Amino acid sequence: MSDVTAAERELLRAHARAERGRRRNAFLLVAPLFVFLIFTFLVPIGDMLRRSFIDSDVASVWPNVVKVNRAWSGEGEAPAALWPALAADIRASAAADNVAVAARRLNYAVDGGRTLVMKTARRLARTESAPNDDWRAVFLDADEAWGRPATLEALRRASGPVTDFFLLAALDLRKDEHGSVIAVPERDAIYRTVLWRTFSVAGMVTLFTLLLGYPYAYLMTRASKPVEAAMTIFVLLPFWTSLLVRTAAWIVLLQENGVVNSMLVWLGVLDTPMRLIFNRVGVVVAMTHVLLPFMVLPLAAVMKGIRPETVRAARSLGATPFTAFRRIYFPQSLPGVAGGALLVFISAIGYYITPALVGGADDQMLSWFIAFFVNDTINWGLAAALGVVLLVCTTVLSIVYAKIVAGRQAG
């Protein structure tokens, strides 16, 4: 009996070793994918999140100013030590040719902040010392803006190491001199409007892709095998063409003397060509065409699993075709509708190339502003904050979709 027990124990140990080897081999197979995702997905997103609340521009070039400001609560007059520290730091950064770093950061919070800093740096280059060691008078003589509480408060809040300035700015909010969060003036409020525009365009594109994609997917899954194969190829064909080429093609089709306007005039629908490009119409049409496959494919995948016998049974029990579709077929296709709508909507809110080429000045979406701040103004903080807004929106939508699917499965 003891020999049998020992043999069983050895068999269990051998099985455990084999299981560990299998798991190790499986991990090694997927390890390159994990490394790829970490360095191409998680690290960039993490860096984006970091840039949205890390404020190190002023600290990197004006360390003495930052040291004084971090000891100042912002109440009352600015510390007397601030002015000689500011003079020394501006001189040192000008000599190192990086004063523009702090000037650019101050310009985000103060109108004309970059001009203020650069002009003061030129003035300090000609000033050997302050009369009676009064550097505040030198700064006020250079520009009276240095005496404004808003300028000094902006400089204090730019001293880092963390800030909520960019995240608030991405929502058209800011802090006043007392630290209270308030809305920016109406003339300067743009990002909430842009966010609403982004969501409204994405919603319209999602609606139109659903209206076009649902009947197409239905016919594709109910057609014969050769017809289904041909319709599937038509859906996949756009993926074989560059997005830039497809967008440029819509510019040719929708321009004033393009194919669409010429046909509408020839048919008598229009008397004169209609403006279909560089406006919201062109953006929605082009984005609907580009994103239509992302609606059709999830719908077709779900519709293939719907048994036609259920609809025929409803018809045999006296239901009209519309009633059978509404109460039997459509509810079973809702997972495909939800999946396709989520995929199209999330893709649409992050679109850049199509609105940038086909849309006008009032049709640019949030992604265009992110690219603008990264490439043109080099405002990485605000670009990252706007990216965080998009990330939060897509995350919330994904969570809501997961809850809906889980609820339907539980039901």
SS (HEC) of 168-211: HHCCCEEECCCCCEEECCHHHCCHHHHHHHHHHHHHHHHHHHHH
Give percent of the chain above pLDDT 90.
23
In terms of Cα–Cα distance, which of 178, 152, 157 is closest to 169?
157
Contact of 294 with 209, CB cutoff 8 Å: yes
* Tokens of residue 174, six digits: 């800011």
Calculate the alpha carbon distances from 208 to 27, 211, 213, 214, 345 in Å: 43, 5, 8, 10, 11
Judge residue 374's burial from the number of C-beta atoms within 10 Å of its C-beta, 0-12 exposed, 13-18 middle, 19 or more buried. middle
pLDDT one-digit tens code per residue, 372-388: 988 888 888 999 999 99
- What is the rounded distance in angstroms from the CA atom of residue 251 to the CA atom of residue 276? 9
Any residues with CB less than 8 A from the CB of 305 and at least 6 apart, and which?
Answer: none
Q: What is the pLDDT of residue 4?
A: 57
In terms of Cα–Cα distance, which of 334, 335, 354, 339 is closest to 397?
339
* Tokens of residue 363, six digits: 């049709």
Classify domain 191-410 by CATH number: 1.10.3720.10
- What is the rounded distance in angstroms from the CA atom of residue 294 to the CA atom of residue 336? 11
In terms of Cα–Cα distance, which of 80, 85, 53, 88 is closest to 67?
85
pTM: 0.81
- State the CB neighbour count (10 A cutoff) for residue 298: 22
- What is the rounded distance in angstroms from the CA atom of residue 33 to the CA atom of residue 55? 33
54, β-bridge pairs: 162
Q: What is the pLDDT of residue 402?
A: 80
* Tokens of residue 160, six digits: 């880092």
Sign, CA torsion 40/43/46/47: negative
* Strand, coil or helix: 307: coil
Q: How far is CA 338 from the centre of its chain?
A: 21
Q: What is the pLDDT of residue 1?
A: 45
Q: Which amino acid is at 235?
A: V
Q: Give start and end residues of each alpha helix (H) in 325-377.
A: 330-349, 353-358, 366-375
Which stretches of the chain drop beneath a pLDDT of 50? 1
Burial code of 190-204, b = ≥16 C-beta within 10 A, e = fewer?
ebeebbebbbebbeb
In terms of Cα–Cα distance, which of 60, 61, 80, 58 is closest to 156?
58
Q: What is the pLDDT of residue 215?
A: 94
